[in-house]
A and B are shown apart, each in its own frame.
Chain A
Amino acid sequence: MRVTFPHMGNMWISVKALLENLDLDVVVPPPCTNRTMSLGVRHSPEFICLPLKVNLGNYMEAAEMGANTIAIAGGVGPCRFGYYSRLQKEILDDLGYNYRMVILEPPQRHFGEIFKEMDKLTKFSLGQFFTAARLAWLKCCLIDAVEERVHKLRAWELTAGQVDKVYKEALSNIDASQTRREIIKAKERALESLNDIRTDSTREVVRVAIVGEIYTILEPYVNQDAERHLGRLGVEIDKSLYLSRWVNDHLLGGFLPLESSRDALKMAAPYLNSFVGGHGRESVGYTVKYARESYDGVIQIAPLTCGPEIVAEAILPEVAVKEGIPVMTIYVDEHSGEAGLITRLEAFVDMIRRRKYHGWDAAAGQERGFEDVLSRG
Chain B
Amino acid sequence: MAVKVGIPRALFYFYYYPLWKSFLENLGARVVVSPPTNKRIMDAGVKKAVDEACLPVKVYYGHVLELVGSVDLLFAPRLISVEKRAYICPKFMGLPDMIRSNIDGLPPMMDTTIDVSRKSKNLHKGVQEMGRFLSKSPRKITRAWEKALEKHEVFLGLTYSGFLPHEAIEIMEGGCRKVETMGDDSLKIALLGHGYNIYDEHISMNIVRNLKNMGVRVVTPDILPPEVTEAEAAKLPKRMFWTLGKRMLGGVLHYIHDSDVDGIIYVAAFGCGPDSMIADLSERFVRRHKKIPFMLLTLDEHSGEAGVLTRLEAFVDMLTWRGVS
A binding-site residues for B, Cβ under 8 Å: 45-49, 74, 76-80, 82-83, 85-87, 89-91, 94, 103, 271-278, 280, 304-308, 310-315, 317-318, 331
Contact = CB atoms under 8 A, between A and B. Distances in A.
B241 A78 contact: yes
A311 B98 contact: yes
B284 A86 contact: no
B280 A310 contact: no
A274 B273 contact: no
Nearest to B53: A310
B52 A45 contact: no
Nearest to B268: A47
Nearest to A272: B97
A118 B236 CA distance: 22
B105 to A, nearest CB: 15
A85 B241 CA distance: 14
Interface stretch (B78-86, B135-143, B312-320): B78-86
B55 to A, nearest CB: 12
A310 B279 CA distance: 21
Nearest to A316: B101
B276 A310 contact: no
Given A90-B284, A272-B94, A314-B102, A47 B270 contact: yes
Interface in B269-304: 270-274, 276-277, 279-281, 284, 288, 298
Interface centre among A80, A87, A307, A318, by most chain B C-beta atoms within 10 angstroms, is: A307
Given A90-B284, A305-B271, A315-B97, A280 B90 contact: yes
A331 B50 CA distance: 13
A315 B53 CA distance: 12
Contacts of B241: 76-78, 82-83
Contacts of A315: 94, 97-98, 101
B20 interface: no
B220 interface: no
A274 B50 contact: no
A79 B276 CA distance: 12
B281 to A, nearest CB: 6
7 contacts: A77-B241, A271-B97, A308-B90, A310-B50, A314-B101, A317-B101, A318-B102
Interface in B188-238: 236-238
A277 B94 CA distance: 10
A77 B87 CA distance: 7
A272 to B, nearest CB: 5
A320 to B, nearest CB: 11
Contacts of B237: 86, 89
A48 B78 contact: no
A271 to B, nearest CB: 7
Nearest to A90: B284
Given A78-B87, A274-B80, A274-B93, A47 B101 contact: no
B123 interface: no
Contact of A310 (B52, B86, B236): B52
Contacts of B49: 314
A74 B240 CA distance: 12
A86 B236 CA distance: 10
B280 A307 contact: no
B53 A318 contact: no
A90 B285 CA distance: 10
A330 to B, nearest CB: 12
Interface in B33-88: 49-50, 52-53, 78, 80, 85-88
B190 to A, nearest CB: 20
B242 interface: yes
B280 A45 contact: yes
Nearest to B98: A314
Contacts of A49: 273, 276
Contacts of A89: 237
List the 5 closest pairs (A to B, CB-CB), nearest first. Answer: A77-B241, A311-B94, A307-B90, A78-B87, A45-B280
Contacts of B97: 271-274, 311, 315
Contact of A313 (B50, B276, B281, B288): B50
B192 to A, nearest CB: 15
B276 A80 contact: yes
Nearest to A319: B101
B89 interface: yes
Given A48-B280, A310-B53, A315-B97, A77 B86 contact: yes
Contacts of A311: 90-91, 93-94, 97-98
Given A47-B276, A276-B90, A311-B98, 14 more contacts: A48-B280, A77-B87, A77-B242, A78-B89, A78-B93, A86-B236, A273-B96, A274-B93, A277-B87, A307-B273, A310-B50, A310-B53, A314-B53, A314-B98
